[in-house]
Structure 1
Amino acid sequence: MKKYILISFFFCAGFALAQNEKANIENQINTAGKYFNKGQYEKALELSKSALVRSFKINDDYLIAHSYNAIGVIYDEFSQSKHAISFYKKALAYASKTENDSLNDWIYSNLGSVYYFSKIDVEKGIQFYKKSLKFATKINDSVQITYTKLNIASAYFSVNDFKNGINYVRQSQDYVKRKGTHEMQFTLASLLGIYHTHDNQPEMAMQYYNSAIAIADKYQFQSYLLNIYETLVTHYKYYRQPELAQEYQEKFNLLNKTLYSQDKKDLLKESAMQIELDEYRIQLERIELENEKQFQKLQESNRVTALFSVLLVVFLVLLLTLYRSNKFRKKINAELSQANTELQLAKEQAEEASKMKSQFVSTITHELRTPLYGVVGITDIITDEHKELANSPHLNSLKFSARYLLSLVNDILQLNKMDEKHIVLETAVFSMQEELDAIVNSVQYIADNNANELIVAIDPKIPTFLIGDRLRLSQILMNLTSNALKFTRNGKVKISMLHTGIQNDTHQIEFKVSDTGVGIAPADQQKIFEMFVQVGRTDEDYQGTGLGLSIVKKLIALFGSSIHLESELKKGTTFRFTIGFKAAQDVQNLTMATEKVLQTPSSLKVLVVEDNKINQLVTQKIMDKHQIKCDMVEDGFSALHLLETNQYDVILMDINMPIMNGFDTTRRIRNLGIQTPVIALTAFDKEEVKEQAMACGMNDIIIKPFEPEKLFEMIYQLVGESQ
């Protein structure tokens, strides 16, 4: 059964705003609504996105909610339910700040529509509609009351609850006939047609359907016309008239293809990411602007202090008597005290702004890593459970996109750490060959897409195992290699390592990443190492944020080295740098650890404390794949209850949980005398939570998303130590 929904695109036509910019934004969204009703969705989306950015700049909660709602309606129209719900909820968050009942009414109505129309949860959709109805009744908005009642009736019809549905139709009928808009008249006729179809009154049903078609044709309601075609297909199938059902099915297909082409859907997906990036950019700009203001205040205070110092010297020379000298001294002391107070306040405000920026970046990366753990994990699950999809381009694209987004999140966090000088190189034993294999596996998808040959050459003089920060080195090579592959088509990309000598027991290794791609113009060769700078976009649109090479340059500087560039347009590019590593003399433990991970006993019993349902599923599948017994609970109290009667070899503990977080749960476990190893399984950066984790009794930390092998290596090591 097709559903008929009246979506609140406009908040209030002709709403009087005092300021000119606000009025312009309001008019812009209203214009977007007109394009939406005509089926011109690209224009509607462009205007709505522009309105959102302008609303953020003037910091108007009402208009921000207004814009988010408009964008959500467009995504809802294309059945992009996840994005639509996200935008509606953002709209609701800003609407709550305005204490505007009308805003809450419209947004709850649209939330009801997306849950019901997309068949996510019809009952939940009805509950949202009823919340909307309460707000509409509270403000006595007859139009919105009627809209909402018709939506509730449509939802009840969709689950064959015609008894409740027809009651709402009858409550709305009188108002629609007297004052109803054309959309209301169309919806009422459609719903009465559906009701009479299922009441075995086909002639009466067709009268209402024909009335609905006439309204849609007259006022060019293309999406409504699509709905009535689909309903007529259902109607004729119900009365066993296949020829007529086929006729309207063909009309439906033709109109659906015109309104909802794949190009338009692709545009929406790209726009969703752009909207989120615009939001983050605006928030960061606000923080930077606040920092600049505080810095200016600090400079002004310094000038005031300098001026007072000069005046103090002048007055000391001029004052001849003790009385004037004492009076002058008191005055200067008071003024200096005030200046120092202002300086201290300015310093604290600047530090607070910097702290807010760090917290913002940390929160954003955590909130993105959590769903990415689910995306990456579920993608791996699909690959494992459906071997026939192993080579699916769509699944590979999903994997690549998830890992690309994860890389972007890590880049942002990395830059923030570098700016605050929080990065210290680690020292650990690693295999250069294994790191290169991992990099090649990660970028092979890009190489295949661009028909490139990826070549790796390692000087045999380089020791098998080295000591150094393998993570930072991998980041450098990964960024350079993925860049080379993206800017090369039908060519070659080569990663080479040359042993150039030994200095003070340190093996000097020259790294080169070269390609046969588009090359970089001489005028752009210094710019590319700056943040957010991208070149070479005139002919083709290469993906990227402009952060990669900036991070590479800073990471190489941490190793005490520098990067060199050689490039020629249309012939290719080579990046070169040298880093020294000490050779690992005793690699037996590393080799044994790797072998033991592969032999992890299935007799292990693990307790997972995780509140996110999707992350529970992913972690459960990882444990099942390795034949490890696993109990799953969603909060700290449940974990404590299980530990009273069960013993486990290891506990995987999420940190950010409701009721009782992972730190408090672990602290209570240790207070009970339970010494089972606890591993923090979190999306927070390790350095942010390390101190708290160790203080409460956790044994180690692993960051989501993670490689299962790293987790099992950690589990085996901790279990072995505890035994």
Structure 2
Amino acid sequence: MRIFLFLFLSFNLLSDIPVTKNNLPTKKEIRKLADQASIYLHKSNYEKSFASSRLALKYAIAIKDDYLIAKCYNTIGSNYEQFSEFDKAIVYYEKGLDFATKSKNDTVKTYISNNLGNIYFFEKKQYEKGIKYYNKSLEFFEKNKDTSRIVFTKLNITWAYFDIGKFEQGKPYLDYINKHQNKYNESKALVILNMLNGMYYGYIGKNEKANSSFMNAIKIGRETNEKVDLSYSHQEYSKYLLKKRNFEKAYQNLDQYNKITKELNDSEQLKRAYAVGANLEIDEYKRKISKIKAEKQLQFLSLKKSKFIVLLFIFLLFITLLILYILYKSYIFKKKTNTILTLANEELIIAKEKAEEVSHLKTQFVSTITHELRTPLYGIVGLTNLLLDEHKELVNSPYLNSLKFSAKYLLSLINDVLQINKIEDNRIVLEHLSFNMADEINSIQNSLSFMAINHNNTINVIIDPNIPEFIIGDKLRLSQVMINLISNALKFTKDGEVNISVKLIEIVNSSYYIEFEIRDNGIGIAEKDQEKIFDNFVQVDRKEMDYQGTGLGLSIVKRLLDLFGSTISLESKIGEGTTFKFVISFELDTVESLKILNLIEVEMPASKVVNVLVVEDNLINQIVTRKIIEKHSFTCSIVNSGIDALEIVEKEKFDIILMDINMPIMNGFETTKKLRQKGINIPVIALTAFDKEEIVEEALSAGINDIIVKPFEPVKLFQLMNTLMLQNRNKILSN
């Protein structure tokens, strides 16, 4: 018998059998009773295990709980397995499997499959069937990444292969268990693991290691009082010693095996357990008899109603003939109507095609307009920054600050319109990338600090320390939601506070549910306006102040949260402020987190001179880009076209290329393709006014390494440049 796995799966440390006040206990009390039966089984108290299972099964059937019925049948089958009554065990396991399937509870279904695997492999010698059941269990545990249960299942499979002498087939499973034994230090597993190591070392002739492993198994079994597993360890050690012709020690271990087995199978205790088991079987027969009686009663009632049914059938037949006549008449009418509908449908198809064409033209129009607006905006923002950098006396100039604000406002408007257009066209797909929540929120706070200062507001941030350092989700869309809500709060608050709270509220499997709250003490929103503020282009009554804006921010927030599978709640009172709340789930992936840690951006050595090639046909953009690059102490060369770029890379050596996309004669995609065809692997960053998602596929196929959308933050450009140059340098060194 191989019982250690189902004991692990069945065993939960719970309280004693509940004392119920009513005739029928609660589901929680029945569950405790079923768990207590598993505990008695683990302690080899089969009499009490049978009694508890019988009572729990009776109650579970009464409340029609398929999961608890399956659990009770599993424990009953396990008891019969201990008595070596394997046919009865299989009957009860299969009953449990049926109810587990009905309950749609994969966990208990998997436990029963494992127990069936034990019987079919070790007792029935139906090896293929046994392995099939084991693999079903293993598939479920691997799907749910339940490493501890994977270890125990693979322990069973290893033992199964070793038992029939297929040591090489069992070796990969043994390697996996050895690798994870420190993480899952269960006493039952350690006893059997050492025993299996002893069997394998004995097979390959490493006698010293074999003896050591067997002795470790026996030592741990004695210390932890795992008598069943200790008996198996003595038995297998005896077999090994017999092969080594050490007859005396072999006999001693065999004697220990017999003593422990006798102790476990105390005859008086088994007699009492058999008596309880017999009562349990009587219950099963009674249930069958009750079912038969109920079926007979139903048959009697059915016969009694047969006359009525015959009359009803005749009546229904008459109705059916009448309906058929009506249907025939309807068919003639429908045929005529279908001809008319077909013509109307053809007209609708033509109208639909025209509407799709108009929608496509609208998308193209929005994309083209945003591109054409971003290009001069890049020049305006860049030149404004250069003037402020080169002429510090103009830092407080109201004209330059107004120009910079207007440019950023126009850029925000363009981005909002583009965002709405993409959402309406279903062109947004959430990304799954690792990021640091605290860094992202702090970055948003810093980017909005100027707006807070202008309104004399304070931004307070509270981030739950229980949130993992690295989580996986779409940080770009999250940032868009947070920036819209926080900037909205700052805009409608003066001389006040905006509080940002990020709190972990629930963990389900590997999903971390995080609640975001943005609360201000601004002017508030009237109750009559709270329903409509999430619609496009809606702005509530501005009264005495002009808050500006397109009325798209909250509409974008609502639609982006729909993509996350989340909803936003709003609480507000006039003059007291507004609170927005929403919850998003993120995934935790430690492997990805380690990768992120290994890929943290490293600055290029200060001593290295970085030579940058800028391919740009717009003269103003050339000036702006050159100033940004040279300010960072990089050297910069500029060419006006893709053709010039192909010529200059043949003559000079560059560390990185900044490539405009929309150029005459030869665009950025064609230029990059030709560079790659020539074997030139210099990193290329597309510096473009196009929306990133519109060109990312074509950019990657052309050989472009990454994309920066104009206007951009210089810091992000240099971070990306450093990362790509470092990756390229490491690639060259590895080759």
Q: 1:593·1:713 contact (CA, 8 Å) conserved in 2? A: no
Could you tell me which residue of structure 1 aligns to residue 587 of structure 2?
Answer: 582
1:492 aligns with 2:497: yes
- Please name the residue that 2:507 is paired with: 502
1:410 corresponds to: 415
Deviation, structure 1 residue 515: 0.9
Quote the residue 1:465 is aligned against.
Answer: 470
| 1:668 Cα deviation from its structure 2 partner | 2.4
Asked if 1:657 corresponds to 2:663, the answer is: yes
Provide the rounded CA distance (Å) in 2 between the counterparts of 1:405 and 1:316.
Answer: 62
Q: 1:427 aligns with which of 428, 432, 437?
A: 432
Change in CA separation of 1:433 and 1:376 when aligned onto 2, cut-off 3 Å = farther
Change (3 A) 1:508 1:555: same
| Aligned-partner Cα distance in 2 for 1:393–1:457 | 34
SS in 1 for 2:441: helix
Give the structure 2 partner of residue 477 of structure 1: 482
Letter in 2 for 1:443: L
Give 1:355 shift. 0.3
Q: List aligned pairs for 1:446-465, cutoff 5 A.
A: 446-465=451-470
For residues 237-282 of structure 1, the C-alpha deviation after alignment (integer angstroms, 9 at most, x for no partner) is xxxxxxxxxxxxxxxxxxxxxxxxxxxxxxxxxxxxxxxxxxxxxx
The answer as to 2:446 corresponding to 1:441 is yes
* CA displacement 1:63-113 (0-9 Å, x = unmatched): xxxxxxxxxxxxxxxxxxxxxxxxxxxxxxxxxxxxxxxxxxxxxxxxxxx
User: In 1, Cα distance between the equivalents of 2:596 and 2:714?
Assistant: 18
- If the length of structure 1 is used for normalisation, what is the TM-score? 0.52
Aligned to 2:649: 643
Q: What's the secondary structure of 2:637's corresponding residue?
A: strand
Cα contact 2:524–2:578 (8 A) shared by 1: yes
Go from structure 1 to structure 2 and tell me whether the alpha carbon gap of 1:314 and 1:625 turns closer, same or farther (over 3 Å shift): farther
The separation in 2 between residues aligned to 1:408 and 1:502, in whole angstroms, is 38
> In structure 2, how many angstroms separate the alpha carbons of the residues matched to 1:457 and 1:487?
21
* Pair 427,315 (structure 1): closer, same or farther in 2 beyond 3 Å: closer
- Following superposition, the deviation at residue 314 of structure 1 comes to 7.7
The verdict on how the C-alpha distance between 1:562 and 1:523 changes in structure 2, with shifts beyond 3 A counting, is: same
CA contact (8 A) 1:369 1:406 kept: yes
1:295-444 correspondence runs (5 A): 317=332, 342-444=347-449
Aligned-partner Cα distance in 2 for 1:709–1:598: 14
Distance 1:594 1:317 in 2: 74
CA separation of 1:466 and 1:698: change in aligned 2, threshold 3 A: same
CA distance change for structure 1 residues 437 and 385 in 2, over 3 Å: closer, same or farther? farther
Q: Partner letter of residue 579 of structure 1?
A: I
1:678 aligns with 2:675: no
Indicate conservation of the 8 Å contact 2:601/2:719, yes or no.
no
Q: Distance in 2 between matches of 1:600 and 1:567?
A: 53
Shift of 1:343: 4.5
How far the C-alpha of 1:519 sits from its partner, in A, is 0.7
Is the Cα–Cα contact under 8 Å of residues 396 and 445 in structure 1 kept in the other structure? no
Moved more, 408-417 or 340-349: 340-349
Distance 1:376 1:590 in 2: 32
Which residues of 2 match residues 217-236 of structure 1 at below 5 A?
Answer: none
Say whether the 8 Å CA contact 2:602–2:723 is kept in structure 1. Answer: no
Structure 1 distance, partners of 2:567, 2:333, is 58
Distance of 2:330 and 2:546 partners within structure 1: 67
Are 1:714 and 2:717 counterparts?
no
- State the Cα distance separating 1:337 from its structure 2 match: 8.3
**Cα displacement (A) at 1:598:** 6.6
- From 549, 557, 574, the equivalent of 2:562 is 557
Cα offset for 1:471?
A: 0.9
SS of 2:722 mapped into structure 1: helix
Q: 1:630 — aligned with what?
A: 636
Q: How much has 1:391 moved relative to structure 2?
A: 4.9
Aligned-residue offset at 1:534: 0.6
Letter in 1 for 2:675: I
For 1:12-27, what aligned pairs fall within 5 Å after superposition? none
CA positional deviation for 1:386 = 2.8
Q: Distance in 1 between matches of 2:428 and 2:724?
A: 26
Q: Counterpart amino acid of 1:507?
A: Y
The residue type equivalent to 2:364 in the other structure is Q
1:77 equivalent in structure 2: none
Q: Between Structure 1 and Structure 2, whose CA radius of gyration is higher? A: 2
Q: SS at 1:630's partner residue? A: strand
Task: Please give the secondary structure, in 1, of the residue aligned with 2:725.
Answer: helix
Report deviation, 1:716: 3.0
Q: Give me the whole-angstrom Cα distance separating, in 2, the residues matched to 1:598 and 1:513.
A: 39
| Distance in 2 separating the partners of 1:600 and 1:351 | 55
The answer to whether structure 1 residue 705 and structure 2 residue 711 are counterparts is: yes
Q: Give secondary structure in 2 for the equivalent of 1:426.
A: coil
Task: Summarize deviations over 1:142-172 as a string: whole Å, max 9, x none.
Answer: xxxxxxxxxxxxxxxxxxxxxxxxxxxxxxx
The CA distance in 2 between the partners of 1:589 and 1:612, in whole Å, is 39
Alignment partners' CA distance in 1, 2:594 and 2:655 = 26
Within 2, Cα distance between the matches of 1:600 and 1:417? 42
What is the DSSP-based 3-state SS (H/G/I as helix, E as strand, rest coil) of the residue aligned with 1:346? helix
Query: Which of 527, 532, 537 is residue 527 of structure 1 equivalent to?
Result: 532
Aligned CA distance change for structure 1 residues 341 and 535 (closer, same or farther; 3 Å): closer
Deviation at residue 401 of structure 1 after TM alignment: 2.8
Residue 237 (structure 1) aligns with: none
1:613 equivalent in alignment to 2:607: no
CA contact (8 A) 1:414 1:551 kept: yes
- State the alpha-carbon separation in 2 of the partners of residues 720 and 574 from structure 1: 44
How far apart, CA to CA, are the structure 1 residues paired with 2:492 and 2:331? 69
Structure 2: distance between partners of 1:314 and 1:473: 60
Quote the RMSD (CA, aligned, Å).
Answer: 2.8
- 1:713 alignment partner AA: Q
| Cα distance in 2 between the residues matched to 1:640 and 1:451 | 53
Report the Cα distance in structure 2 between the residues aligned to 1:481 and 1:318, rounded to whole angstroms. Answer: 62
Residue 691 (structure 1) aligned with residue 692 (structure 2)? no
2:602 — aligned with what? 596
CA shift in 2, pair 1:677/1:598, >3 Å: closer
Which blocks of at least 5 consecutive residues in structure 2 are unaligned? 1-327
Call closer, same or farther: CA 1:448–1:640 in 2, change over 3 Å: same
CA distance in structure 1 between the partners assigned to 2:597 and 2:396 by the alignment: 32
Amino acid corresponding to residue 487 of structure 1 in structure 2: F
Q: Tell me: CA distance 1:315–1:555, structure 2 relative to 1, closer, same or farther (3 Å).
A: closer
Q: Please give the alpha-carbon distance, in whole angstroms, between the structure 1 residues aligned to 2:607 and 2:377.
A: 29
SS of 1:494's equivalent in the other structure is strand
* Post-superposition offset of 1:336: 8.7
Deviation (angstroms), 1:382: 2.5
- Against the structure 1 CA distance between its residues 316 and 440, is the aligned structure 2 distance closer, same or farther, given a 3 Å change threshold? closer
Aligned residues, how many? 402
Alpha-carbon distance in 1 for matches of 2:605, 2:661? 29
User: What is the rounded CA distance, in whole Å, between the counterparts of 2:614 and 2:366 in structure 1?
Assistant: 28
Cα contact 1:597–1:712 (8 A) shared by 2:
no
The within-5 A match list for 1:88-237 is: none
Show structure 1 runs of 5+ residues with no match.
1-312, 320-327
- Is the alpha carbon distance of 1:647 and 1:435 closer, same or farther for their aligned partners in structure 2, counting shifts above 3 Å? same
Structure 2 CA distance for aligned equivalents of residues 708 and 591 of structure 1: 23
Q: Given residue 429 of structure 1, which amino acid in structure 2 is its aligned partner?
A: S
- Asked if the contact 2:601–2:723 (Cα under 8 Å) also holds between the matched residues in 1, the reply is no
Distance 2:686 2:394 in 1: 33
Distance 2:364 2:607 in 1: 41
Residue by residue, what CA displacement relative to the aligned partner does 1:437-464 show, whole Å, maximum 9, x if unpaired?
Answer: 2222222222222221221111222223
Deviates more, 1:489-498 or 1:394-403: 394-403
Whole-angstrom CA distance in 2 between matches of 1:493 and 1:386: 34
Alpha carbons of 1:491 and 1:668: their partners in 2 closer, same or farther (altered >3 Å)?
same
Using the TM superposition, name which of 435-444 and 414-423 deviates more: 435-444
In 2, distance between residues paired with 1:455 and 1:531?
A: 29
Secondary structure at the residue paired with 1:534?
coil
